[in-house]
Homo-oligomer: A and B are copies of this chain.
């Protein structure tokens, strides 16, 4: 018998974007849509057209996307109490969005109808039936998100079911039961879904929130009891405690429960999709996130290397490669060396596995890591380290020295008495034995250093003007204390096409920033834009 098929419905772009701090641009949304399509998501909810200009623009532009797997969905709500479906601006905006499928949220809890919508129970049923009917008459696939369904069912099960039947009468394609406040337990969900299944005839879906840290379990419980459509978000993004996390639901459905959803090849893109969405959302990925986190398959307890293979089997609940992740092994001479050799090969630098060279580089990395550097998130700095270890490596420029001055000065009352700041850097760099000595002011000391360095180098490397520092992160390292702490700086740079990340570490925040800055420029000249050099 073929495995039962489950439809995956992603609402990262709508419900996920409700999380504090997330604000997607139209271009972000288009990129994420593409990524979700590659992951094998069946339905991608793009936003609420008509609710804001951005979402309207998104649906306009999304018409040009070539999606291989996914159907785009526009989200809206049942019609207003005081109008007809045909005249309702919201429903008309949904139709105008031009998607093949739409999802409308409606009230399924009797209390919500009387207290929030402020209408009668029968009138709400009419609203649902007519709204669904109107959209069906336009030839659309229609989902009904039954808001507060489980709470509503607990108060008045018959009415909650009646709302679903109203949607059915309107011709709905899928009845999505929502645990809107995230408070329902998996056992309750299992029981209620079973009852709903007996009284309705359309496919059922589940939409859960994570307020009780149970959204994944609730989603799986609904599927086990008959739901065939699961709504969630990448990384569980969403307001309050987030939505059901598709990154945990998809591998459970596919690998542990044997349902048909994404293909094995698509599943192997899960980790990449998770990190991509985190990056676009400008949120640090959680290293402890199940399945896709950097540490999801890490083991810290001290084990002899020879026990590793035995261990892998017993401490890994799945093979991490199935979801595109890899086991993180605490740096050991063995793992470190093979990593270096692999990377060097990629760079076209042959390093012997048994040779002294790999060991020397590894020793250097260990020393630098003990000083606070961290190469896992700074591949450009890691590549430079290998390059620099090569005899005869000639860097594109060398620092001689720098000086940074920061002044805060209160002007005299006669001069207005205002506080003035000055941040100024002077820098000496050497290119081809020629020393450039430049100076620049900046918006803070690191910005001044950045400007002064480029000023010095632009004469030789005009291509540097294209480099933007798009992210600058500062971390005080754990275990150190007070203002003399060890500081780690990450810089992410881009020339508009390629991105690279560099790291610096020092107790001096200026020096830590400098080191990351230096690596960024050197990497660009060496690897990204080899012809950046001015011909003389």
Contact = CB atoms under 8 A, between A and B. Distances in A.
Interface stretch (A1-9, A159-167, A389-397, A437-445): A437-445
A132 B288 CA distance: 34
A112 B252 CA distance: 24
A237 to B, nearest CB: 9
A315 B180 contact: yes
Given A216-B213, A239-B298, A301-B18, A513 B405 contact: no
B402 A407 contact: yes
A476 B182 CA distance: 32
B401 A404 contact: no
A356 interface: no
A409 interface: yes
A300 B239 contact: yes
A111 B402 CA distance: 62
Contacts of A34: none
The A interface is mostly helix, strand or loop, or mixed, namely mixed
Contacts of A445: 404, 406, 445, 508-510
B444 A296 contact: no
Interface in A14-54: 18-21, 23
B406 A185 contact: no
A474 B151 CA distance: 42
Interface stretch (A120-128, A344-352, A366-374, A463-471): A463-471
Interface of A: 18-21, 23, 109, 111-112, 115-116, 148, 151, 180-183, 185-187, 210-214, 216-217, 220-221, 224, 239-242, 245, 248, 252, 256-257, 282, 287-291, 293, 295-301, 307, 310-311, 314-318, 399-410, 421, 423, 442-447, 449-450, 468-476, 478-479, 481-485, 487, 491, 506-511, 513-514, 517
24 contacts: A18-B300, A19-B288, A21-B478, A115-B310, A116-B314, A181-B317, A185-B257, A187-B220, A211-B290, A214-B220, A240-B298, A241-B296, A401-B408, A403-B407, A404-B407, A406-B445, A442-B483, A443-B507, A444-B509, A444-B510, A445-B510, A447-B482, A469-B483, A474-B509
